[in-house]
Amino acid sequence: MTETWATRAGLDLFLAPEAARGARPRRALEDALRDAVRTGRLAAGTRVPSSRSLAADLGIARNTVAEVYGQLVAEGWFEARVGSGTWVGERPRPAARPAPPERTTRPAADLRAGLPDGTQLPRSAWTAATRRAIEALGPGELGYTPRVGLPRLREEVAEYVARTRGVVARPDDVVVTTGFSETLALVCAALRASGARRLAVEAYGHERHRAIARAAGLDLQVLPVDDDGARVDLLDADAVLLTPAHQFPTGVPLAPARRVAVARWAEATDGLVVEDDYDGELRYDRRPVGALQALAPGHVVYAGTANKAFAPSLGVGWAVAPGWLVAELERIRADRGVRADGLGQAVLADLLATHAYDRHVRRVRVAYRERRDRLAAALASRVPRAQLRGLPAGLHVVVELPDGVAASAAVEAGERHGVLFEALADFRAAVPGIVGGADADGRCVVVGFGAPPAHAYAAALEGTVAALAEAAG
Amino acid sequence: MTETWATRAGLDLFLAPEAARGARPRRALEDALRDAVRTGRLAAGTRVPSSRSLAADLGIARNTVAEVYGQLVAEGWFEARVGSGTWVGERPRPAARPAPPERTTRPAADLRAGLPDGTQLPRSAWTAATRRAIEALGPGELGYTPRVGLPRLREEVAEYVARTRGVVARPDDVVVTTGFSETLALVCAALRASGARRLAVEAYGHERHRAIARAAGLDLQVLPVDDDGARVDLLDADAVLLTPAHQFPTGVPLAPARRVAVARWAEATDGLVVEDDYDGELRYDRRPVGALQALAPGHVVYAGTANKAFAPSLGVGWAVAPGWLVAELERIRADRGVRADGLGQAVLADLLATHAYDRHVRRVRVAYRERRDRLAAALASRVPRAQLRGLPAGLHVVVELPDGVAASAAVEAGERHGVLFEALADFRAAVPGIVGGADADGRCVVVGFGAPPAHAYAAALEGTVAALAEAAG
């Protein structure tokens, strides 16, 4: 076929016998011309044939071509120039083809702290709860979900955290978020808006949390962490972020006297405590210490999440906050335009109401405890000079290596054995002039046992133990 | 029974015959004592009996009581004072009882603009898609969902907006948000971070959107709206928020020449156009004008949502943005800690991939068109002097009342007839010195027809027509 304007534009379809053209020539021609412009087959600034001429070439009605030109002019693909016909618009357009997917290297077993095993998601319970929840949605639950969460879920969360963690909570005190990070970001913004300038953080923690606070415009005071938890006696800030039940990632619980001291500090200074109860549900050896929040509900925002014990893909967290702060969190969420998925919240409310949530938590707690026990037993037998900390709860342990063994050497050995874990020092706030943590800091690694799927845990465990044994000599 | 310390503390259970105490006295005693402190039955600062004495009163092992005291001290409810026994901690605690629910007045039929009918949610399609999506979740989809959205949903959205709206989109260009408001808030924050100071907005729009822009630190330029849409020739800003397909709420489409002009403006000034395609899927009378984004993909962020056509309770929106902006939106979302529900995203991806989403949109489009036609017919027959605008799309119409009839009078008549609609002037940006909109502004009301459930629409329609007929005399 010789190249004509129509073939250049990719209109070959229209040159084929009538039967091949389909029933909707107008739509097909529009799509073909748009595609031709988008991909550059029809260059910007070129003139297109008159509608009469193209209609004759294609064997379709002139009126059809004229309508298509009109549509494409309206959409800006073509330009109609008075007295000079129709032209392809002048701006360049990138191709619409998807980019080829990036090649990914085979990942090592991920033993970073705090990551749960997403494959524990109880798929059939979720599906069953969805069916029930969707059928039960009332007329008031089908519109836009309130910024602070679906009322039914706020009720269930209030009941749940009171029952499991001793939190003093009415439904009106609960704000549903997409997870702890969002809770923290909202609280930091509320603090800043109320004139606060400084947030105290523990010397160890997630760098992401510190970044969120800094992004909100807060300065950080770093509190050293010792065997009784964070040194709250050194507090010199407007608010403090704590992990009282199980300091992250060192595993130290905040000592009772310090719990009382920080509650008194908050009341005396009108300060705010942000209680990150990140692994409140994952306690193995004894009944957990209750939430600090109950000591001073007017000055503590309690923050929990369903993402660790239930499923990270859920994307749900909750805050129990004093009244003024609930109103502020709602206002800031509105300014950020964030409004979480009401359907998912209805499903979670159903899971809590039917106790399917509790049943699932108990099941994963047993599974994670068994992983922890296997890790502890393997290390005791094959790296006997290592000491373990932070065992009673959570999804990771701290391994203190023998004197003279650098954590960095263990991390490198891990890479050679195909496992990814981190040095304790990686969690330390990088603030010059403030020393935090135990002397052993440089010899400690943090080993998560949550993330690998069950079938991959044995290999991840073997790689970890081999790496630590190698590093410890 | 005489009042003893134990009865005051609500421990009557333990004074009953042994059989009533249950198998776990330690847990029951802990809960009872916590509850007593929380509700004030045990006042702060009072001394509690010795463990020996209370154990004798209750007929349980002294060791159990001692353990319970230890736990409550650890949790901060009690204080152990050296040489002086155990005391109830000193800070007051609010009661944990839920507040009584507020009495709500019976709402009028809600005919505010832009609200869809949540009862249109296709419950069985959603449940079926959930079952499929949850079963199909791959190992890479069970962890934390990427800030920019589940990869599978980004692919489906790119395909969907290219197909239905002519948007030039690769999966990597798509950012999944919780709705248009979040998209706008993120874009405003990105603009501010890049040094932009001024956002142009249309003279009519949602006050919430203007509030979001101001909260992000942007000044507003207000563009008058005439019969060709926003006066983009007056642009003097770093970026502009437009509703090109169907100006909200006046209903005017942006004229082809202005579409081209604003694309050229963006390219020439390195400006950014935020294209709010809020009702892109709800067009009734003709094939929609394609997205403006295709004219200048490097300078337009296209924003759509599933909340109007599908279900507001879904809480999903999407942005198609230039590369630099995708990276910025991701960064800012991380600073805000927002991470949307991966399970819901997987379900939506399934609905798009199986075209159940399209089938639903076609179904509601027919239902909404029928509502619009009934409203138009009733007004033509009973308020013949009123003129309608903005009919071809969306969930509302603008009713221009006859000369001399104030919109406020019509709104008040609506209240008497149990229907809630708004004056066009309520949507006008309140910026002194800049006049926007038609002369008829003060005679126009905006009547939504989306929100009432199907069974309530006839009554809402009757109330509206009666009110407008009354106001128009």
* A97 found inside a domain: no
* Whether residues B353 and B372 fall in one domain: no
Per-residue pLDDT at B22: 58
CATH of the domain at A246: 3.40.640.10
User: A344: distance to nearest CA of chain B, Å?
Assistant: 7
- B123 vs A89, A135, A311: nearest CB: A135
Instruction: Say yes or no for a CB contact (<8 Å) between B289 and A121.
Output: no
Q: What sign does the dihedral B433-B439-B440-B443 (CA atoms) show?
A: positive
Q: B 28-67 residues with CB below 8 A of A?
A: 34, 38
* Whether residues B404 and B307 fall in one domain: no
A95 → chain B, closest CA residue: B168
Instruction: Say yes or no for a CB contact (<8 Å) between B337 and A34.
Output: no
* A24 found inside a domain: yes
Who's near A402: CB < 8 A, 6+ residues apart?
Answer: A385, A386, A443, A472
Instruction: Say yes or no for a CB contact (<8 Å) between A91 and B170.
Output: no
B122 → chain A, closest CA residue: A134
Tokens of A27: 């739509």
Per-residue pLDDT at B437: 46
* B346 found inside a domain: yes
Task: Name the residue among A213, A269, A277 with its Cα closest to residue A245.
Answer: A277
Domain end (from B313, B339, B359): B359
DSSP B128: H
How confident is the model over A192-217, as pLDDT tens digits?
999 999 999 999 999 999 999 999 99
Which range among A47-51, A71-75, B108-112, B395-399 shows the weakest confidence by mean pLDDT?
A: A71-75
Contact B76, B38 (CB under 8 A): no
Q: A 61-120 residues with CB below 8 A of B?
A: 71, 73-77, 79, 89, 91, 93-94, 96-99, 115, 118-119
Q: What are the backbone angles phi and psi of residue A73, rounded to the nearest 5°?
A: -70, -40
Instruction: Say yes or no for a CB contact (<8 Å) between A287 and B71.
Output: yes
Q: How many CA atoms does the CB half-sphere of B401 hold within 13 Å?
A: 25
Task: Name the residue among A313, A110, A243, A36 with its Cα closest to residue B349.
Answer: A313
**pLDDT above 60 (res B66):** yes
pTM: 0.80
Q: Which own/partner contact pairs does A220-226 have at CB distance under 8 Å and 24+ positions apart? A: A220/A429, A220/A431, A222/A429, A222/A431, A222/A434, A222/A436, A223/A436, A224/A434, A224/A435, A224/A436, A224/A437, A225/A250, A225/A252, A225/A436, A225/A437, A226/A252, A226/A437, A226/A438
* Whether residues A145 and A256 fall in one domain: yes
* B101 found inside a domain: no
* Whether residues B155 and B176 fall in one domain: yes
**pLDDT above 80 (res B460):** yes
| A314: helix, strand or coil | helix
CATH of the domain at B77: 1.10.10.10
Domain span including residue A389: 109-116+367-472
Q: Higher pLDDT residue, B409 or A54?
A: B409
Rounded CA separation A69/A57 (Å): 15
Task: Name the residue among B245, B238, B249 with its Cα closest to residue B273.
Answer: B238
* A100 found inside a domain: no
* Whether residues A393 and A298 fall in one domain: no
Query: Where do the H-state alpha helices sit in B216-298?
Result: 256-269
User: B130: distance to nearest CA of chain A, Å?
Assistant: 6
* Whether residues A406 and A461 fall in one domain: yes
Per-residue pLDDT at A90: 63
How confident is the model over B257-293, as pLDDT tens digits?
999 999 999 999 999 999 999 988 888 876 667 899 9
* Whether residues A191 and A214 fall in one domain: yes
Contact B191, B185 (CB under 8 A): no
CATH of the domain at A457: 3.90.1150.10
Q: What are the backbone angles phi and psi of residue B20, rounded to the nearest 5°?
A: -80, -10
* Whether residues A280 and A395 fall in one domain: no
* Whether residues B246 and B199 fall in one domain: yes
Tokens of B285: 């009378």
- A168 vs B94, B139, B343: nearest CB: B94
Name chain A contacts of B340, Cβ cutoff 8 Å. 178, 315, 340-341
Instruction: Say yes or no for a CB contact (<8 Å) between B313 and A145.
Output: yes
* Whether residues B338 and B416 fall in one domain: no
Average pLDDT score over residue span A156-163: 94
Average pLDDT score over residue span B411-433: 85
Q: Which own/partner contact pairs does A190-194 have at CB distance under 8 Å and 24+ positions apart? A: A190/A325, A190/A328, A190/A329, A190/A332, A191/A216, A191/A218, A191/A238, A191/A239, A191/A272, A192/A216, A192/A217, A192/A218, A193/A328, A193/A332, A194/A328
* A377 found inside a domain: yes
A339 touches B: beta carbon within 8 Å: yes
Which range among A84-93, B188-197, B340-349 shows the weakest confidence by mean pLDDT?
A: A84-93
Count of other CB atoms within 10 angstroms of residue B323: 11
What's the longest Cα–Cα distance across chain A?
91
Per-residue pLDDT at B158: 96
In total, how many domains does chain B have? 3
Who's near A470: CB < 8 A, 6+ residues apart?
Answer: A413, A417
Rounded CA separation B334/B297 (Å): 25
Which one-letter amino acid corresponds to residue B212? Answer: I
CA A417 to chain centre: 28
* Whether residues B330 and B227 fall in one domain: yes
Q: A 175-194 residues with CB below 8 A of B?
A: 177-186
Q: How many CA atoms does the CB half-sphere of A4 hold within 13 Å?
A: 14
